[in-house]
């Protein structure tokens, strides 16, 4: 099942999920909450099994639906390949991510944007999720949401240069091997990409507080690329 199908079902039932484009945004979340409230469900805007069963009463749903509830991680995957604009000027798409974070002043993708990327993926899909006050500060993400173990969609925080430097990197868990985590993040080789970050640099994993805590799942991936050491 895909997000576009959820949007279409909401629209057919008289709700207003916004443009039917397969992209989970604030309008879709608001429409889902309205549907949940009208159907005696927890109005949290999250695509859980009970909500999907009510939305698609005549459809036999697949057993595993957890990945569909990870709307912020789906947004991160959708943005794979987004790159900085080389030379003078910035990629307007990256600058546009600021719109859902009204207190953030960000005007150039020359400024490290891994925190901006994570902030966009969460704020554009989980409109009631509190973000760190300093979205661009990687270490601030260490207090985001609730603690969890590494699992798909978890926010992963790492130190850079040294543990005490105050510098770091943040992205989403996409897998691991014995020595490194596979991270879907922004500002990795100046783009949204997948990179391997050493487990020795790991500070902690966090989970959105407005989403039910996950049952952590370790995803083993064969590593073919070298480790990333400089994400800025």
Instruction: Please tell me the predicted confidence (pLDDT) of residue 167.
Output: 87
Instruction: Please tell me the predicted confidence (pLDDT) of residue 62.
Output: 59
Instruction: Please tell me the predicted confidence (pLDDT) of residue 130.
Output: 94
Instruction: Name beta bridge partners: 182.
Output: 175, 196
Cα distance between residue 215 and residue 197, in whole Å: 23
**Helix or strand run (H / E) with residue 157:** strand 155-159
Exposure string of 197-231, with b = 16+ CB inside 10 Å and e = fewer, is: beeebebbbbbbebbeebeeeeeeeeeeeeebeeb
Instruction: Please tell me the predicted confidence (pLDDT) of residue 210.
Output: 92
- What is the second-level CATH architecture of the domain 3-69? Orthogonal Bundle (1.10)
Instruction: Please tell me the predicted confidence (pLDDT) of residue 204.
Output: 98
pTM of the model: 0.86
Q: What is the pLDDT along the chain (232 residues), one digit of tens a residue?
A: 789 999 999 999 999 999 999 989 889 999 999 999 999 999 988 888 899 999 999 887 654 444 667 999 999 999 999 999 876 778 999 999 988 776 677 888 888 999 999 999 999 999 899 999 899 999 999 999 999 999 999 999 999 988 888 889 999 999 999 999 999 999 999 999 999 999 999 999 999 999 989 999 999 999 999 999 877 6
Q: 139 with 166: CB under 8 angstroms?
A: yes
Tell me the three state secondary structure of residue 135.
coil
Instruction: Please tell me the predicted confidence (pLDDT) of residue 106.
Output: 85
Pick the CATH number of 81-207 from 3.90.1720, 3.40.50, 1.20.120, 1.10.10: 3.90.1720
Closest CA to 181 of 194, 162, 191, 168: 194
Instruction: Name beta bridge partners: 206.
Output: 147, 155
Sequence ranges of the domains in the chain = 3-69, 81-207
């Amino acid at each position: 099942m895909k997000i576009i199908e959820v949007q279409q079902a909401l629209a057919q039932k008289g709700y207003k999920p916004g443009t039917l484009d397969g992209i989970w945004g604030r309008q879709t979340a608001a429409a889902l909450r309205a549907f949940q409230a009208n159907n005696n469900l927890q109005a949290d805007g999250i695509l859980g099994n009970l909500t999907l069963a009510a939305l698609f009463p005549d459809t036999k749903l697949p057993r595993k639906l957890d990945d569909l509830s990870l709307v912020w991680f789906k947004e991160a995957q959708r943005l794979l390949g987004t790159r900085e604009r080389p030379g003078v000027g910035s990629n307007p798409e990256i600058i546009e991510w600021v719109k859902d974070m009204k207190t953030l002043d960000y005007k150039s993708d020359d400024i490290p944007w891994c925190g901006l990327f994570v902030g966009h993926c969460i704020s554009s899909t989980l409109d009631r999720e509190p973000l760190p006050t300093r979205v661009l500060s990687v270490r601030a993400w260490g207090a985001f949401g609730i603690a969890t173990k590494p699992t798909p969609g978890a926010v992963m925080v790492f130190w850079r240069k040294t543990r005490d430097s105050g510098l770091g990197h943040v992205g989403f868990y996409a897998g691991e091997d014995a020595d490194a985590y596979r991270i879907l993040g922004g500002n990795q080789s100046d783009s949204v990409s997948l990179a391997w970050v050493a487990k020795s640099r790991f500070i902690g994993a966090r989970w959105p507080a407005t989403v039910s805590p996950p049952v952590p799942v370790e995803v083993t991936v064969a590593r073919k690329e070298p480790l990333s050491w400089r994400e800025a």
